[in-house]
Structure 1
Amino acid sequence: MTDSDALLATVDGPVARLTINRPERMNALNGDVSLAIRAVLDDWAHRDDLRVVVLTGAGGSFSTGADITDIATHAGGGESAVDEADAISIISNGSDLARSVRAIPVPVIAAVDGAAVGVGASLALGADLVYATSRAYFLFPFVTIGLMPDGGASMLVAASIGRARANALLMLGEKFRASTAFDAGLITEVLDDEPALRARVDEVVAQLVAKSSAALRTTKAASDAITMAAFETALAEEMAGQTRLLQSPEFQQTLAAFTKHHR
């Protein structure tokens, strides 16, 4: 178990499980939680004894993405613009989080119940297998607040569902319910509810643990070499674009409105 209650990390033999535990914030990711997730995943990436990693969220949500309260703090409570250094720091959190997920050499499973939003959706879709409850949904609302998708979403979504459907999800900010996400090829399977989700993930974990670790690692590496070839390019484009947008007047207005509403 980690020292922080906001993140629960356990290893049981060859199975590692990471749970984002901020249910009061719908598992939104502030800078400290993002750093903690990366530290755990980076450690697991170098362990030879692991066969599978499971990512999930507590309290009925996977993650609603970057905590805008944390971003507002960088901007002096929303009363000043996000400067370039802070903008780079903010976007780097999402990029490095995505890298940490993809650096795991064994299969990564995302168990999604409820909301997977913004970089939270990127975190889930960066997994190799994505299982979701029927009430789960995936949403990239960035364009509605003057930003762009990050955390590798610009590549991860298009690689899964094709350019046209990806543009609807990313440019229009459409909400993809679990059934729609499954039909589009974005996720692996839809389960009725959270108990069914847990049971199915446990079943898949058992199947993976029983297989050759070397074969799984090699298969994943070969698949990633083709399907994830543009990953770093996408992260670089997101870094440049999001850094500019975080400093834009449009996003400054969003921050000011958010701060005023939450005073």
Structure 2
Amino acid sequence: MQARNGLIATIDDRGVARVLIDRPHRKNAMDAATSEAFIELLGEWAGDDAIRVVVIGGGGRDFCTGADIVDMATAPAPRSDAEAGDRATKTIETGCRVVRAIRALEVPVVAAVGGAAVGIGASIAFASDLIYASADAYFLLAFVNIGLMPDGAATATVAAAVGRARANEMALLGERLPAAQAYADGLVTAVVDADQLDARVDRVVDKLLGASPRALKITKKALDAQTLAGFDLALELERKGQIELLQSPEFAALIAAFARGKAAEPTPVPR
């Protein structure tokens, strides 16, 4: 077992690599250090021919509640527009790199989702190949609620799974999607009782290990070519949009309110 900046990673002798996002004091929200550690870890695994399957999960009650907004709220105010732009660019590019690291894995990636999968946490789950959720799990693209847009390629992965109408509902309304509804919509592979989630994932891993590694890789690549043909374009549009929105008066007001520990009405965006 290896601990890295809010992650716990293991690789067993069968080639099963597991990473837990383990920041329970922040409901597994990912700060910059955890995100960078995640990118680095998956990059190492992508180059390891001994790894057959990757499993992503969350330590404690939740999968991941998104980017750690405490980081943003407590950071010193940017000293110039240029610094604000640089900061926004770095924030969104980190999210892009997180999901690119997942998709760069040629082996099957399994997400074990318990509790909340919010923001980039939801994007991480949706970027996986097989998604198993506990009955008490929920997914939330909360971005619009804080003046932002979905990122982590969620505009591609969600639409590919559920179609335009349901993707619009999830992204534009910013409401919780319970695991049972996510399954009915085709967004997750299966829903199981919380106490059965690990066992179900283990059975899936065992089945994947019994298959031809080369066949799995080639099959995954072919499926990606059809279902995620818009992946790169989605990331680029999210990057451009999020850089603008991260510097908007609305988001600045919401972050300032969060830092003060109270809610505030969004500041209207000048027309």
**TM-score (structure 1 length as normaliser):** 0.95
Q: Give runs of aligned pairs for residues 5-20 of structure 1, distance below 5 A.
A: 6-13=6-13, 14-20=15-21
Amino acid at match of 2:245: L
Tell me the residue number matched to 2:167. 166
Match of 1:39 in 2: 40
Aligned length: 260
Letter in 2 for 1:154: T
Matched AA of 1:155: A
Deviation string, structure 1 residues 5-38 (Cα, Å, up to 9, x no partner): 6110110021000001101110000000000001
Partner of 2:92: 91
User: Are 1:257 and 2:248 counterparts?
Assistant: no
- 1:1-263 matches, within 5 Å, as 1-4=1-4, 6-13=6-13, 14-76=15-77, 83-193=84-194, 195-261=195-261
**CA distance in structure 2 between the partners assigned to 1:160 and 1:124 by the alignment:** 12
Deviations 1:80-122 (A, max 9, x none): 9870000000011111001000100000000000000000000
Q: Residue 253 of structure 1: SS of its match in structure 2?
A: helix
State the secondary structure of the residue aligned to 1:50: coil
Q: What is the identity, as a one-letter code, of the residue corresponding to 1:118?
A: G
SS across alignment from 1:110 = strand
Secondary structure at the aligned position of 1:258 is classed as helix
Assess if the C-alpha contact under 8 Å between 2:20 and 2:58 holds in 1. Answer: yes
Distance 1:8 1:100 in 2: 17
CA shift, 1:73, in A, is 3.7
CA shift for structure 1 position 3: 4.2
SS at match of 1:83: helix
Deviation at 1:127, TM superposition (A): 0.4
**Deviation (angstroms), 1:66:** 0.3
Flag as ranges the 4+ runs of structure 1 deviating above 6 A. Answer: 78-82
Conserved in 2, the CA contact under 8 Å of 1:63 and 1:117? yes
Q: 1:74 to 1:84 in 2, by over 3 A?
A: farther
> Does the CA-based 8 Å contact 2:5-2:33 persist in structure 1?
no
Does structure 1 conserve the Cα–Cα contact (< 8 Å) formed by 2:96 and 2:235?
yes
Q: Which amino acid aligns with 1:4?
A: R
Q: Which amino acid aligns with 1:64?
A: T
Rounded Cα–Cα distance in structure 1 between residues aligned with 2:69 and 2:110 = 27
Q: What is the CA distance between 1:147 and its match in structure 2?
A: 0.5
Q: What amino acid sits opposite 2:161 in the alignment?
A: S
Relative distance call for 1:119 and 1:223 in structure 2 (3 A) is same
Offset of 1:4 from its aligned partner?
A: 2.8
Q: CA deviation at 1:2?
A: 3.1
Give the AA of the match of 2:123. Answer: S
Alpha-carbon separation, structure 1, partners of 2:196 and 2:27: 21
Answer yes or no: is the 8 Å Cα contact 1:95–1:150 preserved in 2. Answer: yes
Deviation at 1:79, TM superposition (A): 10
Shift of 1:216: 0.3
Work out whether residues 97 and 151 of structure 1, in 8 Å CA contact, stay in contact via their aligned partners in 2: yes
- TM norm structure 2: 0.93
In the alignment, residue 188 of structure 1 is paired with which amino acid? T
1:34-64, CA deviations, whole angstroms, 9 ceiling, x for partnerless residues? Answer: 0000111011111111111000001110000
Q: Aligned equivalents of 1:258 and 1:79: distance in 2?
A: 20
- 1:249, distance to aligned residue in structure 2 (A): 0.4
